[in-house]
């Protein structure tokens, strides 16, 4: 009889050992799930930052391709994204440099709202080195521009559920780039 009690006690100890092993395994899985959530959020944040860099370079290229608009400070604005319908520019109906700049601003604004979550007030401010001595022909406007432009893009990071963008002014992310087009 003492031997059967010893076997029962041994079975009970084995059951407790198995339950403890399952508990430790479950705690490890919960930690792994939390790590997966953080990795996914960090991956999305890196993706958005890549998009911001791409969009900034895209606008800088647009500005370089319109030197007259650039010299006339047509790209300066503090209220991006702007709204409107882009003017069609083709061989039959050419556009002035100001119209090209307006078209670039509208198209870039559409890209900002499409690719960035919770895009906030974005600005571009260019300064001419000597606006009074602006060249008169487009050929002479080509490099070097000599002035600098400051581009500031602000956006909100996406929250966990996707519906809780952090759009308060204290939690906005910012990309500031000072460049010479």
Structural domain contains residue 141: yes
**Helix (H) / strand (E) containing 26:** helix 2-64
Report if residue 17 sits inside a domain.
no
Q: Is residue 156 part of a domain?
A: yes
With beta carbons less than 8 A apart as the criterion, state whether 117 and 146 touch: no
Give the per-residue pLDDT at 161: 53
Residue 12 lies in a domain: no
| Residue 19 in domain | no
Residue 72: Cβ-neighbour burial (10 angstroms; 0-12, 13-18, 19+): middle
Split into its structural domains, the chain has a count of 1
Which residue range is the domain that position 154 belongs to? 47-179
**Of 110, 111, 88, which is closest to residue 99 (Cα–Cα)?**
88
- Structure confidence at residue 49 as a pLDDT band (50, 70, 90): very high
Q: Per the domain annotation, does 38 fall within a domain?
A: no
Q: What is the mean pLDDT of the chain?
A: 82
Region 160-171 average pLDDT: 59
Residue 103 has pLDDT above 60, yes or no: yes
47/131: higher pLDDT: 47
């Amino acid at each position: 009889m003492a031997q059967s009690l010893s076997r029962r006690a041994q079975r009970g100890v084995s059951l407790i050992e198995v339950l403890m092993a399952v508990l430790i395994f479950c705690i490890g899985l919960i930690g792994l799930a939390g790590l997966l959530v953080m990795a996914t959020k960090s991956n999305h944040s890196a993706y958005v930052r890549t998009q911001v860099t791409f969009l900034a370079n895209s606008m800088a290229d647009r500005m370089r391709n319109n030197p007259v608009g650039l010299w006339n400070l047509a790209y300066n604005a503090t209220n991006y994204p702007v709204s409107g319908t882009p003017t069609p520019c083709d061989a039959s109906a050419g556009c002035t440099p100001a119209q090209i700049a307006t078209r670039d601003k509208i198209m870039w604004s559409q890209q900002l709202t499409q690719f960035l979550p919770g895009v906030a007030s974005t600005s571009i401010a260019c300064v001419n080195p000597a606006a009074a001595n602006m060249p008169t022909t487009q050929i002479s406007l080509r490099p070097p521009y000599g002035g600098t432009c400051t581009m500031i893009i602000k956006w909100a990071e996406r929250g966990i559920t996707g519906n809780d963008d952090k759009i308060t002014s204290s939690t906005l992310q910012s990309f500031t780039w000072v460049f010479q087009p």
